């Protein structure tokens, strides 16, 4: 009996890369030298994940400026800086850009990251992509003259499908839609109307794929993890999960280790479970600076297995370790130690479940 275990995506950037990012932005480092440093960071990250025993790897999002804005990074026009603000519990904020015109196109496609990672990995490579619902937040509430929201959303759905299909065709082990805004939407709109719109939009994209393709597509949802803080952990998971499982993806990656009452959450998940999907539960909390032990992870997996059939169960981290490139709240050493604990603890639980002890 094997319980699959996967990272969510981001790993803290290497110290060399962090320095190079600042130098490149200041004009003190040319593009060729910067690209070489990015390549070293990707290679080092993948090799470190493999050394930690991770059966599935990512590039650690070393080249992404953030999990949400990478498709539009470097766009010379069509954007302004005063977009949606994401408030975190510790008081800091992240702000998205806002569209000022159309048409909407991705400048960068995640397939580019995947092809580089696959050249450097011996393990299967997972590729995370931003959910179209997150990018829908780029469109201003007041609209854009000559560029209606309906036209923007159609172009967004097309671009998202192209990105996901490109990653599947390039050999991604799985493509993960980062849907972190799901729980946050209930904080901004407790009626659930925004969440329903988000899910309908994401399902428009998923409907363009066959059942076998959707088996290689997953959705991640969590309460945020930036600078060791969350943006929506105070939102009741019970209000989100029934709606989240309306998505027609084959895999769900759910934050759980940071929940105050994980058994309650697991009961809700069990009630929503349907045949043909796998639920990866978070057994590592990137917001907690303490490194979990493998035995702690084992016990978390065994608890999950009391609610979720083992053939539909997987494990993951609660979130990426640095979804925004400048986040240095967690060191690479701590991140890899936590990943190692996840891998070893999941294996311990699988052994016990196999033996029947």
Return the bridge partners of 6, or none: 316
Q: Structure pTM?
A: 0.96
Q: Would you say residue 76 has pLDDT above 80?
A: no
The answer to whether 280 and 249 have CB atoms below 8 angstroms apart is no
> What order of strands is seen across the sheet that includes strand 5-6?
5-6, 313-317, 278-284, 251-254, 217-221, 175-178, 127-130
Distance of CA 212 to the CA centre of its chain: 21
Which residue reads 């159609």 in tokens? 154
pLDDT for 236-281, tens place per residue?
Answer: 999 999 999 999 999 999 999 999 999 999 999 999 999 999 999 9
pLDDT for 145-202, tens place per residue?
Answer: 999 999 999 999 999 999 999 999 999 999 999 999 999 999 999 999 999 999 999 9
Query: 239 — alpha (psi -120 to 50), left (phi > 0) or beta?
Result: alpha
């Amino acid at each position: 009996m094997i319980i699959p275990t996967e990272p969510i995506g981001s790993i803290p950037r290497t110290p060399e890369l962090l320095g190079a990012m600042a130098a490149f932005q200041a004009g003190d480092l040319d593009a060729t030298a910067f690209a070489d440093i990015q390549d070293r960071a990707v290679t080092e990250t993948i090799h470190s994940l493999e050394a930690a025993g991770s059966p599935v790897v990512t590039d650690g999002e070393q080249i992404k400026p953030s999990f949400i804005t990478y498709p539009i990074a470097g766009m010379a026009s069509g954007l302004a800086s005063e977009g949606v603000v994401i408030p975190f519990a510790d008081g800091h904020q992240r702000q998205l850009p806002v569209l000022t015109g159309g048409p909407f196109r991705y400048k960068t496609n995640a397939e580019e990251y995947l092809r580089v990672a696959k050249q450097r990995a011996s393990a299967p490579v997972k590729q995370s992509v931003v959910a179209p619902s997150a990018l829908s937040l780029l469109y201003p509430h007041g609209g854009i003259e000559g560029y209606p929201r309906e036209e923007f959303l159609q172009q967004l759905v097309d671009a998202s499908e192209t990105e996901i299909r490109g990653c599947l065709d390039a050999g991604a082990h799985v493509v993960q839609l980062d849907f972190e805004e799901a729980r946050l939407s209930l904080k901004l709109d407790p009626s659930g109307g925004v969440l329903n719109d988000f899910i309908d939009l994401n399902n428009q994209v998923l409907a363009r794929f066959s059942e076998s393709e959707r088996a290689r597509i997953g959705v991640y949802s969590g309460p945020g993890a930036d600078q060791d803080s969350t943006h929506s952990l105070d939102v009741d998971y019970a209000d989100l999960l029934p709606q989240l499982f309306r998505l027609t993806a084959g895999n769900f990656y759910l934050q759980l280790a940071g929940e105050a009452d994980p058994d309650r959450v697991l009961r809700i998940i069990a009630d929503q479970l349907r045949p043909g999907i796998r639920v990866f539960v978070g057994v590592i909390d990137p917001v907690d600076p303490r490194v979990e032990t493998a035995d702690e992870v084992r016990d978390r997996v065994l608890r999950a297995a009391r609610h979720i059939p083992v053939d539909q169960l997987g494990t993951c981290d609660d979130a990426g370790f640095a979804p925004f490139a400048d986040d240095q709240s967690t060191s690479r050493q701590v991140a890899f130690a936590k990943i190692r604990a996840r891998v070893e603890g999941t294996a311990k639980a699988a052994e016990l479940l196999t033996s029947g002890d």
